[in-house]
């Protein structure tokens, strides 16, 4: 026989203003198993809580119903209170008579009747609850950061500075990501490499950070505090313990390859560092293009290497380690505009370039040593057209979203061009100019003062005529056709998630939106967490961002990781799915529906009808299960039950509601 | 040699060699047009097996009941084989648990009128979708032109008409659960109607509880129904149960694209039991 205590709150006039609290209390006294009913002005206040505690002792209450505000608000308060009493903290049901009753109704009679129903339901449910106990999950005090761009590096540094070990997995041969490709950063115009490369070297030299360059995540299992991650380190063909990074091999390599770092505007050798300041500052051999590896002839680099570090027999290495937390910092790439925009030449005109190509052209260490020259004939362009929103805000061709950073970097490109080519003319075709950010609008205004001509409208066609690129567009402010004869066109293309994000996110069961950006747990209140506990987001993998925002988010993700790794053990949430193995058929309907990959089918042996039977049944991983309940509604047999919200207790709630 | 002769000969061989422990087929009763399912364990009983156009029962579900005794040999037509695929895909039995002798099926006739049964007139796959060997040739019967004909009839009714229509149906239901017992999709170890603690559905025999039973069963088999029509044939009250089953299948087809369940062993998991971030949630 259970002894239920019901505590009903006035919440000042928040509830009592619309609900006749005393009438609800009177009704509650008539409910089965209710031994004590109490009303209070503010149940959550200190004296209110003391009243609950005393009533539990004096009336020997073993189940508690609190009729007050939303459980989102004060359920943790009540759980904490019950932890100090003989009542199990999970023998509690909160009836929300504020947010879902008094606040949304005006009619006192109706609201009171509804509050009574809610209390009836809570009493019916609490009578069926079972005590639950959380277990302890150990935490491996080590973090994995996927991606070595500015967001990944900042996250790693912040975690490492707090005293925890961090591994960065970077699939390129060097840290740096996209930021190190940029020339200057808005709005302060400081040199991107000058602020990024010191971070790279700090990461490379940090005693708590291990950099795994040229590596990718192969496999993942486990859960918060205990992610077992297998990392594939691709064959570099160079022994990094012997290599001193002298660069002799790079100067002698006879094979020339298109340089991706320079956006295809120059060539590199087959044995190469991505760029001079690369970290690790040691080369790798590009196996696809190396003459020795592809054709078996050459071997020049091995001959010139003074330390004998070249190893043509090198193979991919797999290592498995356990991490307590994982941070995604996988970044973005630029949308492939060529198939989407045939009206801009679809890539046929060499002088129609992307913003990132412009960054390399204007960069002192780029292919033109910082002189803005047309890729087609190395002449200085006198008329430059910049087109914004290529692929962004264009749901018909590209993406519906705004890529956020392009308004500012197109202003920066205009400014840089007018700075380097004082007699040049720059036209910026735009839809809107969006400059929210510290010092951003001032920067844009400066660009206007520099003489950049902003034309509100899109370019509808570009074609080549006598060495000029004819840009046809519309000025929507004057409703006139505009034709610009340009020497060079810069397309400010949309950001899209980095290649392979779908597969990687699926391995970690991290959610993606329709555009494959990773989804945060709550758009406002949990912006760096994911729905999978222990996995966090930093930088542009979550959505387009500029550098300050990426660094901010990196710091936020790091603080979450530090908070997690600071704990020796985690208290598990006991309100998770439970399998009734007697009726589980093992058909796995729950496996596919689980958003967290928490359920698997295992073979188990049972004694049934005096015989040993081995049959498949579902098994829930308590570390991964978040208690969402998707499996409980999917299981036809009802073998899945969410502890704390059991099928039975919910049916009794429905029964209570349907009685009259 | 007729298909029936082949089946008898092979059943005898399989039982004699010990390749199977039991064999499931049909036997005739007093008359040739009255058949019942037959489960034999002795090779000498093989000559009791018949295979003709009056074998009304779909055999798949019997495999579940005898599989614990050892490997099962059985005769399969289109419907039987899809039932077996269903059982395997639902992890009720394993592929190695059954040895399947396929026969082509041109449809089964009513033993009184000699007319093609409704379920066979609507059948889209007369020939087995999986089997280990064939007895005789595939029938290669043409598919009926319209899969959802009876659904269209219901859809054309106005809402009150439809409500009255189904109320009439559920008023007649006696909750004997024959539809459930004969269904190859209904393989739960404990059916929701028998779960007393949760008490999902009341025991009372009235329109409300009968409707709740029927709707729940329809949703439970929605993306797995093999459209064998056995529920409708087994119903002692003659209720048009396939109407609702096909309505749900049609809706699933409209929402998630054309599909037919239980056609292969490696079919994709049902649309109702998979999680996808881009699933439509227009109700949210």
pLDDT by residue (tens digit) across A112-157? 999 999 999 999 999 999 999 998 889 999 999 999 999 999 999 9
Q: Is the pLDDT of residue A544 over 60?
A: yes
**Quick one: fold of A577-643?**
Alpha-Beta Plaits (3.30.70)
pLDDT for position B281? 64
Closest Cβ–Cβ partner in B68, B220, B277 for A512: B277
Residue B283 pLDDT grade (very low, low, confident, very high; cuts 50, 70, 90): low
- Whether the model clears a pTM of 0.90, i.e. scores above it, the answer is no
Residues 70-129 of B with CB under 8 A from A: 89-92
Give A332-496's CATH code, choosing from 3.40.50.300, 3.40.190.10, 3.50.50.60, 3.40.50.970.
Answer: 3.50.50.60
pLDDT for position A529? 94
Give A445-496 pLDDT, tens digit per residue.
999 999 999 999 999 999 999 899 999 999 999 999 999 999 999 999 999 9
pLDDT for position B63? 93
Tell me how far apart the alpha carbons of residues B25 and B7 are, in angstroms, rounded to a whole number.
Answer: 9
Closest Cβ–Cβ partner in A593, A616, A638 for B274: A593
Q: Mean pLDDT across chain A, nearest whole number?
A: 94
Residue A530 pLDDT grade (very low, low, confident, very high; cuts 50, 70, 90): very high
pLDDT for position B245? 95
* A4-126 and A142-329+536-565 agree in CATH topology: no
Residue A631, min C-alpha distance to chain B (Å): 9
Unique residue bearing structure tokens 């029964």: A655
Class of domain A4-126: alpha beta
Cβ neighbours of A585 in B, within 8 Å: 90-92, 187-189
Tell me how far apart the alpha carbons of residues A344 and A374 are, in angstroms, rounded to a whole number.
Answer: 17
Residue A406 pLDDT grade (very low, low, confident, very high; cuts 50, 70, 90): very high
Q: Among A239-243, B102-106, B277-281, where is mean pLDDT lowest?
A: B277-281
Cβ neighbours of A637 in B, within 8 Å: 188-192
Q: What percent of chain A has pLDDT over 90?
A: 91
Q: What is the mean pLDDT of residues A163-180?
A: 96
Q: Is the pLDDT of residue A6 over 80?
A: yes
Structure tokens at B251: 């809706």
Contact A518, A509 (CB under 8 A): no
pLDDT for position B278? 65
A315: left (phi over 0), alpha (psi -120 to 50) or beta: beta
Cβ neighbours of A588 in B, within 8 Å: 91, 269
Residue of A nearest to B223 (CA): A589
Q: Is the pLDDT of residue B284 over 60?
A: no
Q: What is the mean pLDDT of residues A235-254?
A: 93
Residue of A nearest to B278 (CA): A514
Which residues lie closer than 8 Å to B258 by C-beta, 6 or more apart? none
Give B240-268 pLDDT, tens digit per residue.
999 999 999 999 999 888 899 999 999 98
pLDDT for position B280? 64
Q: Among A202-206, A234-238, B199-203, where is mean pLDDT lowest?
A: B199-203
Q: Buried b / exposed e across B28-42, counting CB within 10 Å, b at 16+?
A: beeeebebebbbbee
Structure tokens at A30: 């008539």
Any chain B CB within 8 A of the CB of A647? Answer: yes
Q: Mean pLDDT across chain B, nearest whole number?
A: 92
Q: What is the mean pLDDT of residues A516-542?
A: 93
Q: Using the beta-carbon criterion (under 8 Å), do A587 and B91 form an inter-chain contact?
A: yes
CATH code given to domain A142-329+536-565: 3.50.50.60
Contact B173, B239 (CB under 8 A): yes
Give A311-322 pLDDT, tens digit per residue.
999 999 999 999
C-alpha torsion B65→B69→B71→B75, nearest 10? -40
Q: Could you tell me the residue ranges of all domains in chain A?
A: 4-126, 142-329+536-565, 332-496, 577-643
Backbone angles phi, psi at A291, to 5 degrees: -65, -35
Contact A326, A508 (CB under 8 A): yes
pLDDT for position A84? 93
Cβ neighbours of A651 in B, within 8 Å: 198-200
């Amino acid at each position: 026989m259970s002894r239920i205590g019901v505590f009903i709150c006035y919440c000042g006039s928040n509830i009592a203003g619309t609900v006749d609290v005393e009438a609800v209390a009177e009704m509650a006294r008539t409910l089965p198993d209710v031994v004590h009913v109490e009303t209070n002005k503010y149940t959550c206040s200190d004296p209110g809580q003391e009243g609950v505690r005393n009533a539990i002792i004096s009336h020997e209450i073993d189940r508690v119903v609190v009729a007050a505000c939303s459980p989102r608000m004060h359920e943790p308060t009540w759980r904490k209170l019950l932890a100090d009493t003989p009542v199990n903290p999970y023998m509690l049901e909160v009836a929300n008579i504020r947010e879902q009753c008094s606040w949304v109704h005006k009619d006192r009679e109706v609201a009171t009747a509804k509050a009574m129903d809610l209390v009836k339901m809570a009493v019916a449910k609490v009578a069926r609850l079972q005590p639950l106990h959380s277990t302890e999950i150990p935490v491996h005090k080590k973090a994995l950061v996927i991606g070595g761009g500015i967001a990944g590096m900042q996250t790693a540094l912040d975690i490492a500075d707090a005293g925890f070990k961090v591994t960065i997995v970077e699939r390129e041969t060097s840290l740096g990501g996209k930021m190190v490709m940029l020339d200057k950063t808005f709005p302060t115009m400081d040199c991107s490499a000058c602020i990024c490369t010191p971070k790279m070297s700090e990461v490379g030299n940090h005693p708590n950070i291990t950099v795994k360059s040229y590596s990718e995540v192969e496999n993942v299992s486990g859960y918060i505090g205990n992610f077992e991650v297998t990392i594939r380190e691709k064959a570099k063909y160079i022994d990094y313990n012997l290599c001193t990074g002298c660069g002799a091999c790079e100067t002698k390599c006879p094979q020339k390859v298109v340089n991706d770092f320079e956006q295809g505007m120059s060539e590199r050798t087959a044995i190469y560092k991505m760029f001079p300041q690369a970290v690790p500052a040691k080369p790798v051999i590009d196996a696809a293009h190396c003459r020795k590896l592809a054709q078996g002839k050459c071997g020049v680099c091995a001959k010139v290497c003074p330390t004998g570090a070249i190893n043509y027999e090198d193979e991919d290495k797999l290592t498995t380690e356990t991490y307590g937390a994982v941070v995604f910092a996988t970044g973005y790439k630029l949308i492939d505009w060529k198939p989407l925009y045939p009206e801009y030449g679809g890539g046929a005109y060499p002088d129609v370039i992307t913003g990132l190509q412009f960054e390399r052209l204007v960069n002192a260490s780029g292919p033109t040593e910082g002189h803005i020259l047309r890729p087609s004939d190395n002449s200085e362009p006198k008329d430059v057209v910049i087109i914004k929103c290529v692929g962004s805000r264009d749901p018909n061709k590209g993406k519906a979203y705004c890529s956020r950073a392009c308004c500012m970097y197109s202003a920066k490109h205009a400014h840089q061009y007018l700075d380097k080519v004082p007699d040049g003319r720059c036209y910026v075709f735009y839809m809107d100019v969006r400059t929210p950010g510290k010092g951003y609008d001032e920067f844009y205004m400066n660009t206007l003062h520099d003489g950049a001509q902003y034309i509100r409208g899109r370019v509808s066609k570009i074609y080549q005529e006598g060495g000029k690129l004819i840009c046809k567009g519309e000025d929507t402010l004057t409703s006139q056709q505009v034709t610009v004869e340009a020497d060079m066109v810069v397309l400010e293309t949309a950001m899209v998630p980095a290649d392979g994000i779908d597969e990687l996110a699926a391995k970690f069961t991290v959610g993606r939106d329709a555009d494959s950006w990773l989804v945060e747990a709550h758009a406002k209140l949990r912006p760096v967490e994911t729905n999978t506990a222990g996995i966090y987001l930093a930088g542009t993998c979550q959505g387009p961002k500029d550098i300050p925002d990426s660094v901010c988010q990196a710091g936020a993700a790091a603080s979450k990781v530090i908070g997690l790794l600071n704990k020796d053990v985690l208290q598990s949430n006991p309100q998770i799915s439970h399998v009734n193995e007697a009726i589980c058929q093992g058909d796995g309907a729950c496996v596919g529906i689980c958003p967290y990959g928490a359920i698997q089918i295992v073979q188990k042996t049972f004694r049934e009808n005096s015989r040993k039977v081995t049959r498949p049944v579902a098994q829930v991983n308590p570390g991964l299960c978040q208690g969402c309940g998707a499996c409980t509604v999917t299981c036809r047999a009802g073998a899945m039950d969410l502890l704390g919200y059991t099928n039975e207790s919910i049916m009794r709630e429905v029964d209570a509601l349907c009685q009259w | 040699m007729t298909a029936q002769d082949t089946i008898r000969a092979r059943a005898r061989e399989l039982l004699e060699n010990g390749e199977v422990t039991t064999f499931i087929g049909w036997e005739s009763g007093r008359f040739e047009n009255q058949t019942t399912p037959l489960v034999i364990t002795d090779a000498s009983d093989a000559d009791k097996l018949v295979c003709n156009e009056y074998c009304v029962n779909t055999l798949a579900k019997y495999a579940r009941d005898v599989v614990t005794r050892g490997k099962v040999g059985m005769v399969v037509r289109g419907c039987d084989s899809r039932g077996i695929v269903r059982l395997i895909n639902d992890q009720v039995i394993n592929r190695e648990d059954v040895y399947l002798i396929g026969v082509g099926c041109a449809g089964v006739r009513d033993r009184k009128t000699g007319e093609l049964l409704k379920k066979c007139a609507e059948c889209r796959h007369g020939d087995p979708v999986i089997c280990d060997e064939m007895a005789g040739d595939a029938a290669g019967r043409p598919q009926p032109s319209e899969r959802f004909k009876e659904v269209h009839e219901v859809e054309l009714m106005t809402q009150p008409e439809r409500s009255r229509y189904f109320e009439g149906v559920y008023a007649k239901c006696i909750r004997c659960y024959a539809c459930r017992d004969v269904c190859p999709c209904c393989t739960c170890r404990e059916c929701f109607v028998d779960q007393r603690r949760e008490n999902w559905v009341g025991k009372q025999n009235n329109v409300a509880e009968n409707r709740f039973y029927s709707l729940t069963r329809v949703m439970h088999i929605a993306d797995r129904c093999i459209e064998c029509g056995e529920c409708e044939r087994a119903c002692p009250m003659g209720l048009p149960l396939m109407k609702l089953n096909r309505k749900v299948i049609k809706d699933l087809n409209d929402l998630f694209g054309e599909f037919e369940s239980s056609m292969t062993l490696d079919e994709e998991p049902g649309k109702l039991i998979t999680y996808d971030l881009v699933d439509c949630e227009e109700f949210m």
